[in-house]
Amino acid sequence: MAFHATHFALVLLAFVQAEAFRGLRQLPQPPNKGNAEEQYFEQVLDHFNAIDGRTWQQRFWVNLDNYVEGGPAFIFIGGEGEASPGWLNYGQWSKWAQENGAAMFILEHRYYGQSKPTEDMSTENMRYLSSRQGLEDLGHFMTAMTSTYDLTAGSWITFGGSYPGSLSAWMRLRFPHLVAGSVSSSGPLFAKLDYFEYFEVVADALDTTGPGCNIALTEALSTVEGIIGETDDLGELSSLFRLCEPLDGSNSMDVMSFMELLVDNLAGIVQYNGFYNEDIFSICAIMTDESLGEPMNRLAALNDVLLGPDQEMCLDHTYNSFLSLLTDVSWTGEGVGWRQWIWQTCTEFGWYQTTNQESGVYGHTLPLEFFEQWCQDAFGPEFTHEMMEKSVAASNIEYGGYEPSVSNVVFVQGSIDPWHAMGVLEDLHEGAPSIYITGTSHCADMYPDKSSDPEELTAARLRIGGLVKGWVENARK
């Protein structure tokens, strides 16, 4: 059975591996314990063209169990994957909804899940997918729901983690008359093509387990690079890492795709450290276990752990396999949002996790050009480096990058999360604080309390809850 970084439903940790560098991807989803009815909202297709009157059906869910007349409305913003109604009864925002008597809404992001604005995802139709359109969707939806459900207080609090964490902050920026306050969890706010800082954070995180882990990883990846560069016979390497097809050393895109999967093993575990069976300590225990042989053999052993015990499972490293997902314009795929999210990175954000670190800790086989080739192969030759640089710059002008002009927004980041390097890490001012939580990973503050939670995480959640309560009370005055 083939395993590619995109086929994350196959094994538990496959999701983590897919998650790391091709996009923020969805958060680990909660169980759907409620019976929330799936509903659809008639949404405008193009908010920036008044002449175009086309509409489409956008999926959403509502929970009024906690709502007290005159209470606020909370909205959980959907992101670059299928939205889950399980959040209506799960996590910190659910607890705060109970405390504040809030109505709860989840709105799925356009182009993801079952929210399909166009007949297909042809390049021509992709032009309606952007964060800017997504923010307008939210504004239109919230205005309509205020009327539909007679939300007399009229105050909304937005919640989001990862890319939706960015959207949450930008909602307060764009619609301060609608949004009383915003929680931005692990949201990258600064758009950047060459996001080499991502793997710098990965390295720092793994260093917390002891000095030997990154040393072994560097040697392992260097050995693999050396073998690929020095010999045409890569059968042993293909077998060692359980590749579905023999590695072709003359195919540079296949080589880079293979190396990408190896470093993704690390990045995915770090990004969601604490959510799955494997964590930074368990993978570093493998990488520093000399009984497993040389570092390259330890890296192969780590790859075996992530693939699982089924020996029929193999690593699909070929670029063509990934490209087939990027170029699939139908809505009939797995719904993981690859073509859609890559479009957003090509046209708005970049965030390509290269191995351009000065330290060379994870080799040098993933240059920016590798990722830019995705955009050209998926969407056309006009997606040049210069074009993408302009698009990224436009996003930072639009939203303010590291310094958005906002109030009543709290920016929450974890030190283990590789995305924190693109986030707001210091208070912008008294009304826009930053909470930086040592030792926590991507969006950890959003999940339910556990007895094993570090004190800093518990304190952060209490502080966020206090801010939310304050925004609600101020909006009532």
Which sequence positions are flagged as catalytic?
162, 417, 442
CA 212 to chain centre: 29
CB-neighbour burial class of residue 458 (10 A; exposed 0-12, middle 13-18, buried 19+): middle
CA distance 280 to 278: 7
CA distance 262 to 237: 13
Token couple for 134 = 């997504």
Residue with tokens 């399909």: 116
106: β partners: 61, 76
CA distances from 52 to 2, 49, 110, 358 (A): 44, 6, 17, 49
Token couple for 201 = 């954070």
Q: Strands 73-77 and 156-161: what pairing?
A: parallel
CA distance 203 to 372: 24
Residue of 456, 373, 338, 336 lying closest to 81 (CA atoms) = 336
CA distance 414 to 426: 13
Residue of 430, 349, 356, 433 lying closest to 392 (CA atoms) = 349
